[in-house]
Amino acid sequence: MNVRVRFAPSPTGALHIGGVRTALYNFLLARQTGGTMILRIEDTDQNRYVPGAEEYILQSLAWAGIKIDEGVGPGGPHAPYRQSERKAIYQKHARELVDLGHAYYAFDTEADLEAMRQRTPNAQYDSTTRLQMKNSLSLPKEEVQKLLTSEPYVIRLKIPSNEEIHLNDLIRGEVKVHSSQLDDKVLMKSDGMPTYHLANVVDDFLMQISHVIRGEEWLPSAPHHVLLYRFFGWSNVMPRFAHLPLLLKPDGNGKLSKRDADRMGFPIFPLTWTDPRTGETSKGFRESGYLPEAMINFLALLGWNPGTTQEIFSLNELIQSFSLERVGKAGAKFDIQKAQWFNQQYLRALSPEILSGYLLDSLKKEGFACTPDRALKIVAALKDRVTYPQDFWEQGRLFFAAPDAFDSSAVGKKWTSDAVKVLHEYEQKVKSAPALSANDAKLMLEEICAAMGIKPGQVLAALRISLTGGMSGPDLMQTIEILGGMETALRIQTALKQLAVPTSNV
């Protein structure tokens, strides 16, 4: 079979990270089978249209490395791929469906529909109610003809009254829905625009879609898909369905929402997005320092599992290993710490030159000079401690600016008179060794300690406080090597001057 899959977002706002996963699964299947990945923009709902959203979708997919073969962007044989530009196609198909007796014109006003709901609580427009309504099934032919020229009307799908509709979902297995649960969906609105129900299905057929891979929230509309394919006589080319499991919030069982992400302080959109309606800006994964390759790896495993313990997958490995059969039904927890772990792994695997480039970029912005060699050293010292590219600057600033304060609780515990004695000596020693190696720095400290009968372990924390202001940071001796003897000595002097000499232990 010629695999043709589509990602079919509606430009109603920023693409949610779950949408990126949907696009990714489509893309993986397309690449694995030598098939085609299509991007169709479903913009028929004018009320929900948000300017900039389509651009945003294209940029997000490009960032994620999800390449579109056909559709909005590259174009293709079924252009246009933007549904608002395909109105005539849907009109033609809707009329065809009326002629076939599977759809009908309806003239009900809002008040008529409200009256129906008043008459029968929970009533829906279907085989039990449609004959009481104003439509081409209930009204005489001549009246229908007249109304068609004088009144606004919609076209509704005529759902069969008593039938079990089956669909075989590649993830959920056999799904059965009784037609009595479905309503006569509007296919064409009075403004001549199709609804999702018609446009989505007609386009899947015309674009020869082989697999519909989409979020679980679209499962309820799958029976309409099946019915429409049958009514049009297309059943023999019905796409396979795969409804992906929900993404769940990290702490609990609910569906992951923007509110959860905001509450827990992580992004939900691939790229930074400013909502044109509210002006609210939400920081994206990209701007937060997530690498696209790491996000792809993380997202691939949210719902799909390879059946082995392998976690790190290059895109090519994902393409090789992915299968819809191994996508589970159960919701997948969006474990943001796992995303951070992936980011660390991918960041560490980058070349020293790329990593030092991140640092050099930040330094330039902050107005600090640094040789490429020194940047490489700093990056090597920090490499195992960073999660995001910007951490090289956050954690590396200590190499460019002396601490402006000392952590008082650390000082209280570790600034002992023994340590102070050693630091006085050490400062003298390192001052005269501008280019000392980490190993020299260590030997010097050990020598002084040995001569004073003090264990080096008792001094290290105080030395660190002098150099960094606190207790955390990269390897101490490497830090000294990078700072150099002069700067190390200066910082020790400052600390000795600013911090009171402890009276205990004297």
Residues labelled as active-site residues: 258
- DSSP characters for 114-178? HHHHHHSTT--SSTTTGGGSSBTTTS-HHHHHHHHHHS--EEEE---SS-EEEEEETTTEEEEEE
E-state strands within 8-64: 36-39
For the bound state, the minimum distance from the C-beta of residue 221 to ligand GLU, rounded and expressed in Å, comes to: 7
Complex with ligand GLU: residue 12 or 33, whichever CB lies closer:
12
Residue 423 engages ligand GLU in binding (rule: CB under 6 A): no
Cα(266)–Cα(321) distance, integer angstroms: 29
Cα(279)–Cα(353) distance, integer angstroms: 38
Buried b (16+ CB within 10 A) or exposed e, 28-46: bbbbebebbbbbbbbbbbe
Binding-site size for ligand GLU (CB under 6 A) equals: 8
For the bound state, the minimum distance from the C-beta of residue 133 to ligand GLU, rounded and expressed in Å, comes to: 28
Complex with ligand GLU: residue 57 or 370, whichever CB lies closer:
57
Residue type, 368: F
For the bound state, the minimum distance from the C-beta of residue 279 to ligand GLU, rounded and expressed in Å, comes to: 24
Cα(230)–Cα(158) distance, integer angstroms: 13
Complex with ligand GLU: residue 217 or 251, whichever CB lies closer:
217
**Window of 211-219, 245-253, 266-274, 277-285 that interacts with ligand GLU by CB under 6 A:** 211-219
Structure tokens at 194: 């199709």
Complex with ligand GLU: residue 216 or 481, whichever CB lies closer:
216
Q: Per-residue string for binding with ligand GLU, 123-162, x by CB under 6 A?
A: ----------------------------------------
**Window of 2-10, 25-33, 133-141, 401-409 that interacts with ligand GLU by CB under 6 A:** 2-10
For the bound state, the minimum distance from the C-beta of residue 471 to ligand GLU, rounded and expressed in Å, comes to: 49
Q: How long a stretch of residues is the chain?
A: 506
What do you get for the CA distance between the two ends of the chain, in Å? 85
Residue type, 61: L
Cα(296)–Cα(20) distance, integer angstroms: 9
Among the residues of 233-275, which ranges form H helices? Answer: 258-264
Q: Which of 60, 136, 200, 478 binds ligand GLU (CB under 6 A)?
A: 200
**Window of 4-12, 108-116, 275-283, 386-394 that interacts with ligand GLU by CB under 6 A:** 4-12
**Window of 6-14, 113-121, 153-161, 289-297 that interacts with ligand GLU by CB under 6 A:** 6-14
Complex with ligand GLU: residue 241 or 342, whichever CB lies closer:
241
User: Cα torsion for 374, 376, 380, 382, to the nearest 10°?
Assistant: 70
Residue recorded with tokens 């993830």: 171
Of 214-233, binders to ligand GLU (CB under 6 A) are 214, 218
For the bound state, the minimum distance from the C-beta of residue 199 to ligand GLU, rounded and expressed in Å, comes to: 9
Q: Which of 3, 5, 8, 106 binds ligand GLU (CB under 6 A)?
A: 8
Residues 94 and 198 sit within 8 Å (Cβ to Cβ): yes
130: Cβ–Cβ under 8 A, 6 or more apart, which residues?
104, 137, 138, 156, 158, 184
Complex with ligand GLU: residue 199 or 459, whichever CB lies closer:
199
Complex with ligand GLU: residue 135 or 200, whichever CB lies closer:
200
Cα(269)–Cα(326) distance, integer angstroms: 26
Structure tokens at 240: 């396979």
Residue 205 engages ligand GLU in binding (rule: CB under 6 A): no
For the bound state, the minimum distance from the C-beta of residue 10 to ligand GLU, rounded and expressed in Å, comes to: 4
Q: Which of 3, 28, 31, 42 binds ligand GLU (CB under 6 A)?
A: 42
Cα(341)–Cα(474) distance, integer angstroms: 19
CB atoms near residue 170 (< 10 Å): 16
**Window of 8-16, 151-159, 296-304, 464-472 that interacts with ligand GLU by CB under 6 A:** 8-16
User: Cα torsion for 250, 254, 259, 265, to the nearest 10°?
Assistant: -10
Q: Which H or E run contains 356?
A: helix 352-366
Complex with ligand GLU: residue 152 or 220, whichever CB lies closer:
220
For the bound state, the minimum distance from the C-beta of residue 247 to ligand GLU, rounded and expressed in Å, comes to: 14
User: Cα torsion for 427, 433, 434, 436, to the nearest 10°?
Assistant: -100
Complex with ligand GLU: residue 9 or 35, whichever CB lies closer:
9
Parallel, antiparallel or unpaired: strands 273-274 and 281-282: antiparallel
For the bound state, the minimum distance from the C-beta of residue 342 to ligand GLU, rounded and expressed in Å, comes to: 26
Complex with ligand GLU: residue 212 or 332, whichever CB lies closer:
212
For the bound state, the minimum distance from the C-beta of residue 220 to ligand GLU, rounded and expressed in Å, comes to: 11
Structure tokens at 224: 């309409």
The SS3 of residue 344 is helix
Phi/psi-derived region of residue 390, left when phi > 0, alpha when psi is between -120 and 50, beta in every other case: alpha
Residue recorded with tokens 């999702």: 196
Residue 9 engages ligand GLU in binding (rule: CB under 6 A): yes
For the bound state, the minimum distance from the C-beta of residue 300 to ligand GLU, rounded and expressed in Å, comes to: 19
Residues that bind ligand GLU (CB under 6 A): 8-10, 42, 200, 212, 214, 218
